[in-house]
Structure 1
Amino acid sequence: MPRISAPTVAEHRIVQRAALLSSVKEILLSSGADAVTARSAAERAGLARSSFYEYFPSRDEAIVAVAIEAFREWGAEIEQALQEVEPAEKLGAYITTNLMMAADGKHRIASILQKIELTPERHEDIIALHDTLVGPLIQIVRELDSSRPVIDISLVRGLLNAGMQLVEQGSDADEVATRIREVLHRGMT
């Protein structure tokens, strides 16, 4: 019988799964998706290869689990930022928060996930997770009483994606956020 490293078996399983998720994420960030295998994830977590399959039926499932965790964290961070500002400042807060996540390297995992060859179902799951981060933007644009919300949302997303690329290439996140807010303020008011 394997030894458990927590007060209960349930807690032990939570710790083991978290260790595997952490190792999959580390491998994705350091070596790319091709390096993620049951063996590499388990070894990095200090577990036997067979342990990987106790928690994830496949490599794709482990990668999707990492994505789910990342998107939940990003969503919570965006939600927190939006709660702390007045309604008129929400669009700026949304933009700044996303760019700061890019500056902190949090968005890098999303860039990696977009390039991974997964089963069509799992790829759609990741796209759906990414789309949930657009929910707050949709609400903000509605609150701004936009006459063309679909177009405005697409344009904001385009500016934000361009801003994230700039930040990932070394531009200052605050400077890029300020410039995007200025462009949007002139265009939407």
Structure 2
Amino acid sequence: MPRISAPTVAQHRAAQRRALLDAAREVLTEGATDIPGFAEVAARAGLARSSMYQYFKSRRDLLDALVEDSFPRWSDRVEREMDAAGAPDRRVLAYVRANLDLVAEGEHAIASSIAAIAPTEKMTETSALLHRKLVTPLVTALTELGATDPAATAELINAVVHAATRQVEAGGDPVAVQARAAELIEPYLTFAATSRATGNINP
């Protein structure tokens, strides 16, 4: 048995699995076109190749684990930042900011690599679930603001986020891109919040 580097065996195993997943995610951020190999992942994690088989039965099993690990991280991060923002107009801006922060941190590149490597039915279902989880709190915030068609407005906001994502991934300064996206969206939010506060009907 290897030397335990955590208080319990379970914690040790969890830490090793986390290190292997993080190493595989690192490979994906570099534009991998295939499922990361066990030898490369283990080496990056500072572990023996044989350690991989204690946690993943195959490269496909590793890829499934990456899908299950990466996609909830995105939605959970966005939801946390929106919840902390408070008022509905601030939550919408937090949605934009959190998504673009994740892009700048490489999370979108990981998701794109996974999708390119494994365009499977499971992947399609996972992507659809993530989209629903992301859009739901955005639509809720827009509904609270009094948007006449919150779902359609959310789609337009996401169009701005997607365009900003492309700019960041093309090498644009994330801070500047995020500021431009906010410049486009914030006037509507200010108008909607003011209309809501004064009791006027939102167009």
Name the TM-score, length of structure 2 as normaliser: 0.76
Cα distance between partner residues in 2 of 1:112 and 1:20: 17
Tell me if the contact between 1:23 and 1:41 (Cα under 8 Å) persists in the aligned partners.
Answer: yes
CA contact (8 A) 1:78 1:97 kept: yes
Cα distance change of structure 1 residues 16 and 185 upon mapping to structure 2, 3 Å threshold: closer
4+ long deviations beyond 6 Å: none
Contact 1:32-1:112 within 8 A present in 2 as well: yes
Distance 2:87 2:71 in 1: 24
- Give the CA RMSD over aligned residues: 2.7
- 2:93 is aligned to 92
Any conservation in 2 of the 1:27–1:33 contact (CA below 8 Å)? no
Match of 1:75 in 2: 75
Percent identity over paired residues: 37
User: Is residue 43 of structure 1 aligned with residue 46 of structure 2?
Assistant: no
Q: Distance in 2 between matches of 1:80 and 1:164?
A: 20
User: SS of 2:78's equivalent?
Assistant: helix
User: Which residue is 1:155 aligned to?
Assistant: 156
Residues 24 and 36 in structure 1, CA contact (< 8 A), matched pair in contact too: yes
1:122 and 1:110 map into 2 onto residues whose CA distance is 10
Q: Which residue of 2 aligns with 1:17?
A: 17
The alignment partner of 1:133 has SS state of helix
1:56 alignment partner, SS class: coil
Where 2:30 maps in the other structure, the secondary structure is helix
CA distance, structure 1, for counterparts of residue 131 and residue 28 of structure 2: 18
Rounded to whole Å, the distance in 2 between the matches of 1:47 and 1:127 is 35
Gaps of 5+ in 1: none
Corresponding position of 2:194 = none
Equivalent residue number for residue 142 of structure 1: 143
Could you tell me the TM-score, scaled by structure 1's length?
0.80
Q: Which has the larger radius of gyration?
A: 2
Give the 3-state SS of the residue equivalent to 1:170 in structure 2: coil
Check the 8 A contact 2:25/2:66 in 1, yes or no: yes
* Structure 2 counterpart of 1:105: 106
- Which residue of the partner structure matches residue 179 of structure 1? 180
Unaligned runs of 5+ in 2: 192-203
